[in-house]
Every structure is written in C-alpha cells, then in structure tokens.
Chains A and B, each alone.
Chain A
C-alpha cells in the first residue's frame, strides 16, 4: 500500500472541507472493505484518506411510516439487516444485506459504501432501486437528494461530485408492499453475485431490478409495464420473462458466461414473482 495522509473527521462539515482541499486526491473511507482492498492491490493510491467513521450522526438508523427508513452512511450491514423495522418492513433489503460477504465483512461494510462503490453486482443496489431509495448527499452547496435510479453512471461511477459526502440512504415506506430478493452465486455463502434480482409488488404495480447483467444495476421497465394490472399465470409469466433479454447486456467473466447469466436473470425474476404471489 502506498503512503497517504489520514484524517479522521468528526463532523460532516469537516469532511467536506478536507475533500475541498484536494478533491482529486482524496478518498472517503467508510468500512473499507472495498477501498482498503483496492489500495492493497494497488488499483488506487489516494493522497489522502478521509475516515468518516468518527462522525457519530452517520451511525443512526431510524424508521417511521411518515419518513420511511433512514440508514446512516456508517451503519454496518449486519446491524441494518437485524434492525427490527428493516426486518419488518423491508425484509428483502435485510435478505440482501445478509448475503453480502461474511459476518466479519458485514460487521464493518455499509450499504452506503456498497452503493457508492457502484459495482454492477452490489447486492443492496437492486433492493434500493425497486424500493425507490434516495441518496442523501452533502456537498459544497449544502444538502441534495439523488434518487438511486439516477445514481449509478457506470462501472464504479456515480453521480457524486468529488466534494460530495453521502449522509445516508432514505427509503420511503409504502403500505402493502411485498418484496423479494434473490441471489445466484457459485458458492452458497461468502461469494459475489453471479446475478442478483429484486422485485416488489404493490397493488397491481410491479417493479424489478437485476444486478451483474449490465454495467450498472438496472430496472426492467418493459417487464414492469407488461405485468401492470395483469394476473400472473403461466402465460403472462412466460411472456414477461421473455422480455428480460431486451433489457440487459450481460458479459462473460470469471463467474459466468453471458448465456448462463440470461438464464439466471429469468430464473431469479421468476423466483421473485413466485415469492410475491
């Protein structure tokens, strides 16, 4: 690991000041499970690391039906997955978080880090998309909100400016929502998704998202439009699954071939539909 300057900041304002001093050379450290690994492997050599784990306000997690769920940027995935309101009202998000890495990883890694890392296979990204999560961001001009469907710009690229700090993720509460998270990986535990999928059903509306089938996690608008108001039976299910291929652009890599990913994408969306039936 190359040497760097290390700052442990106590407030959001202090973090922004440090970022402002050297926007190009700075990197925010949260749980570090992505960042430290990338630094060890010499993919990244920042001049300065801004450790935000000392900002107490970012470790909050709260829920109300009016405000929805707020998960502070530094809340570990394990804590989030076991939070009473998350288990009760956002069980698909709890399921996704529980399948990230190992218990040791989940004790430090965060949902905000998972999303900011912007990997196509990030496990909390597809639930965030179908649950219409909003990134709460502090920047040079104060607070702003970025809906998660506008957040991912490419592999490891987000809508964040170099001087932006994500404060946390807000997820609205929708009465009567049913959801499902599905993950396919080579090994049952401690493995990255070969493909992952999320679905929600609310009234006669459906929303779906897939991970690891395109440069960013993606929603499936064609499938969603087709299914709206329809009864799910063998025929509508078959037609819906056929539309998936148009909406994704998977590649071959160490985890899978393109063809198998298409097959998995259909299988996982089908499992979502079955779980929500």
Chain B
C-alpha cells in the first residue's frame, strides 16, 4: 500500500505492506537505525520517535499509520551539523554508555520540554519512566535533561 508522510522534514512517498510495524519500516526501508526494537511491547521506550511532535512507541504502531503524519527520528533532530541542545547535554554530562536507549531518551525528553519547558526533577523522572536504561543508572540522563531545559530557555 502506498503512503505519504513527512519524515525528518522531507515529504516521502513509500510502498509498504500493512503488517509491518513503524519501527521496522524506519529501520529496514529507510536505514534509520536510531530507533531500536528492544522489547517490542511498549515497555522499554527504545523505539520512541516523535509522531506529530509527540513521543510514541513505534513498535506498537503499523507503518501504514504514518500516512499523512509527521515523523521525526533521532536522525532528524539536529539542524544540519548543529546538534540539538539535548544531544549536546547528553554528550557533555556523559548521559550514555552503550547508547541503545539514548535516541528514545532524547526524543521523550524533547516531547517533555516542548510541553513543559521548566520541568522539576520529579516531572523529568515521570516523563522518562517509559524509557529503560541498562547502563547509566539514570542520574546523568536526568541532569542532561535539566541542563538542556536551561539552554532552551
């Protein structure tokens, strides 16, 4: 089936079968491997993308649901070579080790800061509760989000 959608600010026309998930389409058909399929069941957040600006788990969506919508993956977050503030603060605070969870963490945080530019620590923790990290222990991830919030303001 043919779908049309905006992918990282580019209009796309694409042929896809209905029984393919959105995360699989992004990874297999577009080589956008930032979104990971971790649990495949909505629990870990590794597959998080922005769907019309809001974080969603792309493992529980069909690719065809993208038709007519706007999708941003981690690959589309920087403006050319200029990294997004969140990408910068994740690097400067050392908020990642293996990096598997990082695209999901950053995009979830992006969604949070769009709605709430000055979140408390508790609000950051709650917003990131659907994103699991096996490496960092979360402390630096929360700090990175706090610092990015300051930079955006």
A and B are interacting partners: yes
Residues on A facing B (Cβ under 8 Å): 1-6, 8, 29, 32-33, 36-37, 39-40, 49, 51, 53-54, 78, 101-105, 107-108, 188-190
Chain A CB within 10 Å — which of B42, B48, B112, B126 has the most? B42
Minimum CB–CB distance from B31 to chain A (whole Å) comes to 22
Q: B56 on the interface (CB 8 Å rule)?
A: yes
**Chain B interface residues toward A at CB < 8 A:** 1, 17-21, 40-43, 45, 48, 51, 54-57, 60-62, 64-65, 67-68, 108, 111-112, 126-127, 129-131
A sample of 21 cross-chain residue pairs with beta-carbon separation below 8 angstroms, ordered by A number, consists of: A1-B20, A3-B17, A3-B19, A4-B19, A5-B18, A6-B62, A32-B65, A37-B42, A49-B18, A54-B68, A102-B42, A102-B57, A102-B129, A103-B130, A104-B48, A107-B51, A107-B55, A107-B56, A107-B111, A108-B56, A190-B43
- CA of A159 to CA of B59 in the docked complex: distance in angstroms? 30
- Chain B residue with the shortest CB-CB distance to A45: B19
Q: Once the chains are docked, how many angstroms separate the CA of A4 from the CA of B17?
A: 9
Q: Given the interface contacts A104-B55, A190-B130, does A8 sit within 8 Å of B64 by beta carbon?
A: yes
Assuming the A-B contacts A101-B42, A107-B54, are A40 and B21 also in contact, with contact meaning beta carbons closer than 8 angstroms in the complex?
yes
B111–A103 CB distance below 8 A:
yes
Contact A103 B19, beta carbon cutoff 8 Å = no
Given A51-B65, A105-B130, A107-B54: A6 and B41 interface contact (C-beta under 8 Å) = no
Residues A104 and B18 in contact, CB atoms below 8 Å apart: no
Pairwise interchain contact A32-B60, C-beta atoms closer than 8 A = yes
CA–CA, A37 and B57, complex, Å: 12
